[in-house]
Structure 1
Amino acid sequence: MTAAAAEALALGLHEDLSNEDYHADKMSLSSSGARKLLPPSCPAKFRYEQDNPQPPSKTFDYGNAAHKKVLGNGPDLVVIEHDAWNTSDAKAEVAEARSRGAIPLKQHEMDMVDAMAGAIRKHPLAAALLDPAYGAPEQSGFWIDGPTGIRRRVRFDWLPSIQSGRLIIPDYKTAADASDRAMEKEIEKYGYNCQAAWYEEAAQALGLGGDDTEMLLIVQEKKPPYLVNVIGIEFLSREIGRGKNRAAIETFANCMSTGRWHGYADAEPNYLALPGYAENRDKEIYL
């Protein structure tokens, strides 16, 4: 572990901690990790992914590059000046960029993320929430969970620096479809309600905001005209997220104390029913 990663073990807010050093703290639990502990995943998958980080991929490159352009913090973006990347020269340049932590992009991909950042700056609410005069990107925090004593951590996409009144924490996402209907499904699929509850608790634990702290999603589509939707998550959904977070924290604490990261069913079988829609459909016909 690097000296910076060792420093990250200190509790409190860290303004200049790198993404790599933030993730080097394997003894603490993050929001994304908490979601991986719960069904349909399980602790065994969480542990494997912690010990075997995913290699860079084009799927994540676009989102990370957009984060860099929009938030102003992140890995270097490098244009690979080759029409095709299957030549030996192109492969060598891509490998060199990745070896130093940069994101290799084609020119049209760089143009895309530039256009996305431009669309954010033209959106009145998103631009105000991400105004560099009143906030900073990639702020990390560490604190102790009271009920269990485990370490929890958070990495805010953006943290306002002037906190008069209610603290609003923006979190930037990219999506194929940022419409309300699509994002309702995305909130459930990716557990953004759990993330909102986690970030709000983090801000309170770190002394940054009060009970009225709120996380807002800034969601942007990845195709022209790069539409933006600023989304709040309703109270009940956030409370459900809070309850799921608590279950994940308790699971993490138990796994840490026992050293056992269980999978789906170890000692007893799991008895499953048909999905509700199928049971209601078929029971009237066959029973």
Structure 2
Amino acid sequence: MTNTALAGASAPAAGIAPGLYPDLPIETYHGDRLSLSSSGARSLLAPSCPARFRYEQDHPQPSKKTFDLGNAAHKLVLGEGPDLVVIEADRWDTKAAKAAVADARAAGAVPLKRGEFDQVHAMAEAIRQHPVASALFAPGSGRPEVSVFWDDERSGVRRRARFDWLPDPRAGRLIIPDYKTCRSAEPGALAKATHEYGYHQQADWYRAAARGGFIDADAAFVFVCQEKSAPYLVTVFEPDMTALRIGAAKNRRAIETYAACTESGYWPGYTDEIAYLSLPPWAEIRDAEEYL
């Protein structure tokens, strides 16, 4: 059965050509509808589905307050991004504060409370004090926000990535860092986050971007994760080879799914069949003991 509401979703006639783009505006990067990003690949697979991916592409959401702190920290750590504007108000639910916030967003800036502004500056200082993170993001050692577009050899799908920081060529293996804010930078918590958010898929995707963009065929990709509460602890990690192999396999499935849906114009939901479901294992064990 064809989902007519999602069949034949519209797309622009042309996309961005393969290549390296150091100065591509972020809106242009996200607005390209004929290429697949790492986050898009992840949204094609369970627990999401192609129909949700297509809907989100057709109905982009405005920036949310929950993203402001991370965006502001990125700006200070990477040295590039939207302006930060302090809204000097104790409450943001007043007419004047709401107007100031709206004006800041309309100008492409990130509105922050005074405490948040001080917080992100303290976070950036903690990055500068970390022996590994400070070296990875050393000013003058690379360029922030570099986009790359390339064609997947097996499927022909155009892929894209946007490096937080692309280091300049140097002796030895190139290490490409990606900055993330988090609730906990404890390694066990980050292992769970890697599974939940697909960081192993992102790592494989961005290593492929380095190859596809003729940057470095053997580049390493690491995550610089920083807690959002004092003392703003930092952990730098790289997914192990097993995680990267799983990430690569999931990315391949997503690419092939995207290619098939693009060709057919049909973006299926979770299932087109009647689902036959059991209780969650924990509930089945608990209730079986009581009722059976």
- Report the TM-score range of the alignment, normalised by the length of the smaller protein: over 0.9
Q: Distance between the aligned counterparts of 1:105 and 1:70, measured in 2?
A: 16
Deviation at 1:8, TM superposition (A): 7.2
CA contact (8 A) 1:134 1:162 kept: no
Gaps of 5+ in 1: none
After superposition, the Cα gap between the structure-2 partners of 1:112 and 1:281, relative to the gap in structure 1 and judged at 3 Å, is: same
Alignment of 1:205-244 (within 5 A): 205-210=212-217, 212-244=218-250
Deviation at 1:273, TM superposition (A): 4.0
After superposition, the Cα gap between the structure-2 partners of 1:241 and 1:155, relative to the gap in structure 1 and judged at 3 Å, is: same
2:152 to 145, 151, 157: 145
Q: Distance between the aligned counterparts of 1:89 and 1:256, measured in 2?
A: 47
Deviation at 1:162, TM superposition (A): 2.4
Give the AA of the match of 2:240.
Answer: E
What RMSD in Å do the two structures reach over aligned CA positions? 2.0
1:251 to 250, 257, 265: 257
In the other structure, the counterpart of 1:94 is: 101
In the other structure, the counterpart of 1:116 is: 123
Gaps of 5+ in 2: 1-11
Deviation at 1:272, TM superposition (A): 3.3
Deviation at 1:179, TM superposition (A): 0.2
Q: Distance between the aligned counterparts of 2:95 and 2:146, measured in 1?
A: 39
In the other structure, the counterpart of 1:165 is: 172
CA contact (8 A) 2:177 2:224 kept: yes
Asked if 1:125 corresponds to 2:132, the answer is yes
Deviation at 1:82, TM superposition (A): 1.3
**SS in structure 1 at match of 2:132:** helix
| CA offsets 1:183-219 (integer angstroms, 9 cap, x no match) | 1110000000000000001101111112x32110100
Give the TM-score of the pair, scaled to structure 2: 0.91
In the other structure, the counterpart of 1:47 is: 54
After superposition, the Cα gap between the structure-2 partners of 1:190 and 1:241, relative to the gap in structure 1 and judged at 3 Å, is: same
CA contact (8 A) 2:15 2:34 kept: no
1:270 to 252, 271, 275: 275
Alignment of 1:9-20 (within 5 A): 9-20=16-27
Give the AA of the match of 1:60.
Answer: F
Q: Distance between the aligned counterparts of 1:216 and 1:104, measured in 2?
A: 29
Q: Distance between the aligned counterparts of 1:25 and 1:64, measured in 2?
A: 21
Q: Distance between the aligned counterparts of 2:88 and 2:287, measured in 1?
A: 58
Deviation at 1:73, TM superposition (A): 1.0
Q: Distance between the aligned counterparts of 1:53 and 1:160, measured in 2?
A: 31
**SS in structure 2 at match of 1:98:** helix
Count of paired positions: 281
CA contact (8 A) 1:125 1:230 kept: yes
Q: Distance between the aligned counterparts of 1:116 and 1:6, measured in 2?
A: 43
Q: Distance between the aligned counterparts of 1:46 and 1:8, measured in 2?
A: 18
CA contact (8 A) 1:8 1:14 kept: no
Q: Distance between the aligned counterparts of 1:164 and 1:270, measured in 2?
A: 55
Give the AA of the match of 1:184.
Answer: A
Deviation at 1:58, TM superposition (A): 1.5
Which deviates the most, 26-35 or 156-165?
156-165
Alignment of 1:194-213 (within 5 A): 194-210=201-217, 212-213=218-219
Q: Identity over aligned residues, as a percent?
A: 57
After superposition, the Cα gap between the structure-2 partners of 1:281 and 1:234, relative to the gap in structure 1 and judged at 3 Å, is: farther
